[in-house]
Chain A
């Protein structure tokens, strides 16, 4: 996995979102549903873990914004042997390869789908923050229970987002 975009995706989607953040949200919802949830763990999540979304969301946005360029066969012309083509060829062939790829593969739709999923996840996050009166440090049990459906919605949106990002191509495709 030498493609820098693929590495970025792996760190963001696999390491952070799938293995860490999503599990954290799901575990929080599960703890919230208990008869007497352990306050320490509820607080830990709300104060330390949950707000991380704010910092990571722009990175996910940037990842998706770069996806088409990074996954295009045009990027193959940046590396040998195709980078050794003459300037005249390089003036038209990379763009042609890119256009053909866009025509053949639904990459734009896939990226747009991921971006929509990201927006939905972000909206779900904002609903929770609003539900908590703007403060993620709120640990009032009654208010938290009221927000439980919002956390479930957020979890669902995160799962959809992660699946959409995972569905993007695993390597640069040749047309």
Chain B
């Protein structure tokens, strides 16, 4: 991960000193753990620096006099802010010495410099705040002057500096803390460096710092709420303690309640043993309730005491006693209009802090992150498919980035990931990714219009159903309590039927996707070989093996075979497979 970069505006540290060095700056950098990258003087190499620093004097020398330079300073701030390695934080001195240059090469200072009402640092602060481009730059006042005057001057202003730090107090630890608390810093765990994302991470860290809060993550589908929930957990004092997820979307009401609160032995038919719920399992750590907006109405009152951070109580189904817990609760939803929807208990929303959510920006607001994300996903899937598909390492053509940046991405980062993943497994041997290799979602313009018009409203789109991989992950995470056989006994036959239908749907999707239109058959001819290669992501799959697999899929459960054979596409595929492999391959 690249180091955060800060800008320090200070007359003493920013100045170019005699002999091509600035010893005050050298000492400051050493003590604060800063690697000086200004480039105006030779810089001492720091071991394990906390951040990179660019120093700016904020002044200009005019003959034998030194004066303040607000315009030049603002331009320096803007120009660094526009770069991708933008300022994580701006450190601003208050008192700047001006006037004629003395024997020591330093300005001698004039009375106005020391007038707390006229500190040049305050003038700069006002100018930065008035500049719409710089409104998100986190600012720390770094000065050993008295801070009272500054605080009084801006007491009624809605803007505020992040912190006041006395120059004598700034060491490595203090700088790290200031950056962590207020800085716009990148993190390897969540790819991106756009201001929108970095502000979201900053807010998430700020909220996580409390350690026992309820934190609502609000963002469109595919923006990475689950990733952010994990980030909140790992950024809080709960890191290293349990992190338990509860999914609510599409889960029957009874199961949501049981998975959240657990049950006592005998609470219902089949409850042969007591079972702890997710809330209890998360004690000491973090409970993450995914798709909080889908919590059934009947469960909402039962969440009230759990979400009351002064109480944090839970009660197992059928239990007389409540259990006190010590945890933080992270909730996530893509229902952007949750607060005004009217179908949610207001007291619950209040406790969930729905009025101050951590907002995850849609990919449309993070366009500058698309190259980083695309590169990240490309490397991820090249590595993942290295063994099975012998993927080549490829670069990305500039036209690809243009196309990716121009797409509206209603499914956000998840959708982008799918497109890249698909490009890798469909074209494993490429060394350059071009636009032709991208299976972009159709109706580009239509999707764009739809996305733009619905962004301010609640979305009803692909987000209402689980993505297949999320579904698989959910299944994979299922656990079966040996002490509670009633909860899983008899599942196998049902599982087998569901699996057979699921696999058949997958096969049908692949058969449809690989259909090739011909003059004789405009709808497209069914080809089982390319379809199975796609399903298996295996270009080396032979035709006979593909036929065996089709037969196997169709025969996974004899009780649903008839149902599957009623589908013309599946039926035709089965016929082809049997013709190709009349005997072999059946198991």
Binding site for B on A (CB under 8 A): 1-2, 7, 10-11, 14-15, 18-20, 22-24, 26-27, 30-31, 34, 38, 41, 44, 49, 159, 162, 166, 170
Contact A2 B111 (CB under 8 A): yes
Instruction: Say yes or no for B30: interface residue by CB 8 A criterion.
Output: yes
Instruction: Say yes or no for B494: interface residue by CB 8 A criterion.
Output: no
Contact A38 B168 (CB under 8 A): no
Please tell me which one of the listed residues B30, B114, B146, B167 contacts residue A7 in the complex, with CB atoms under 8 A apart: B114
In the assembled complex, which residues on chain B have CB atoms less than 8 Å from the CB atom of A162?
A: 168
25 residue pairs bridging A and B, Cβ less than 8 Å apart: A1-B114, A1-B115, A2-B111, A7-B111, A7-B114, A11-B109, A18-B144, A18-B167, A18-B168, A19-B12, A19-B24, A19-B144, A19-B167, A20-B24, A22-B168, A23-B24, A23-B28, A23-B167, A27-B26, A27-B30, A30-B31, A31-B30, A38-B44, A159-B168, A162-B168
Contact B167 A170 (CB under 8 A): no
Chain A's closest residue to B24 (CB) is A20
Q: State A20–B167 Cα separation when bound (angstroms).
A: 10
Q: A14-B144, A18-B144, A44-B23 are in contact. Are A23 and B31 (CB under 8 A)?
A: yes
Please tell me which one of the listed residues B23, B114, B146 contacts residue A24 in the complex, with CB atoms under 8 A apart: B23
Q: A18-B168, A27-B30, A30-B30 are in contact. Are A1 and B24 (CB under 8 A)?
A: no
Chain A's closest residue to B168 (CB) is A18
Q: Which 8 A-B pairs have the closest CB atoms?
A: A27-B27, A1-B114, A23-B27, A18-B144, A27-B30, A18-B168, A24-B27, A14-B144
Residue-by-residue, is B10-46 near A (CB-CB < 8 Å gives 1, otherwise 0)?
Answer: 0010000000000110111011000000000000100
Chain A's closest residue to B169 (CB) is A159
Instruction: Say yes or no for B145: interface residue by CB 8 A criterion.
Output: yes
Q: State A7–B95 Cα separation when bound (angstroms).
A: 13
How many interface contacts (CB-CB < 8 Å) are there between A and B? 52
In the assembled complex, which residues on chain B have CB atoms less than 8 Å from the CB atom of A34?
A: 47
Instruction: Say yes or no for B116: interface residue by CB 8 A criterion.
Output: yes
Residue-by-residue, is B191-226 near A (CB-CB < 8 Å gives 1, otherwise 0)?
Answer: 000000000000000000000000000000000000
Interface secondary structure of B, over-half rule: helix
Q: State A49–B572 Cα separation when bound (angstroms).
A: 90
| Min distance, Cβ B34 to any Cβ of chain A, angstroms | 12
Interface secondary structure of A, over-half rule: helix
In the assembled complex, which residues on chain B have CB atoms less than 8 Å from the CB atom of A11?
A: 109
In the assembled complex, which residues on chain B have CB atoms less than 8 Å from the CB atom of A10?
A: 114
In the assembled complex, which residues on chain A have CB atoms less than 8 Å from the CB atom of B27?
A: 23-24, 26-27
Contact A41 B26 (CB under 8 A): yes
| Min distance, Cβ A51 to any Cβ of chain B, angstroms | 15
Contact A14 B111 (CB under 8 A): no
Chain A's closest residue to B171 (CB) is A26
Q: State A44–B168 Cα separation when bound (angstroms).
A: 21
| Min distance, Cβ B170 to any Cβ of chain A, angstroms | 10
Chain A's closest residue to B144 (CB) is A18
In the assembled complex, which residues on chain A have CB atoms less than 8 Å from the CB atom of B145?
A: 14
Q: State A7–B97 Cα separation when bound (angstroms).
A: 13
Chain B's closest residue to A13 (CB) is B144
Contact B116 A1 (CB under 8 A): yes
| Min distance, Cβ B201 to any Cβ of chain A, angstroms | 31
In the assembled complex, which residues on chain A have CB atoms less than 8 Å from the CB atom of B167?
A: 18-19, 23
Chain A's closest residue to B114 (CB) is A1
Chain B's closest residue to A163 (CB) is B168
Q: State A103–B86 Cα separation when bound (angstroms).
A: 55
In the assembled complex, which residues on chain A have CB atoms less than 8 Å from the CB atom of B23?
A: 24, 44, 49
Contact A170 B114 (CB under 8 A): no
| Min distance, Cβ A18 to any Cβ of chain B, angstroms | 4
Q: State A125–B186 Cα separation when bound (angstroms).
A: 44
Q: State A11–B108 Cα separation when bound (angstroms).
A: 10
In the assembled complex, which residues on chain A have CB atoms less than 8 Å from the CB atom of B116?
A: 1
| Min distance, Cβ B109 to any Cβ of chain A, angstroms | 8
Q: Of residues 101 to 152 in B, which have CB atoms within 8 Å of A's CB atoms?
A: 109, 111, 114-116, 144-146
| Min distance, Cβ B318 to any Cβ of chain A, angstroms | 63
| Min distance, Cβ B116 to any Cβ of chain A, angstroms | 7
Chain B's closest residue to A31 (CB) is B30
Given A34-B47, A44-B23, A170-B146, 4 other A-B contacts at CB below 8 A? A1-B114, A10-B114, A11-B109, A27-B28
In the assembled complex, which residues on chain A have CB atoms less than 8 Å from the CB atom of B28?
A: 23, 27
In the assembled complex, which residues on chain A have CB atoms less than 8 Å from the CB atom of B44?
A: 38, 41
| Min distance, Cβ A158 to any Cβ of chain B, angstroms | 9
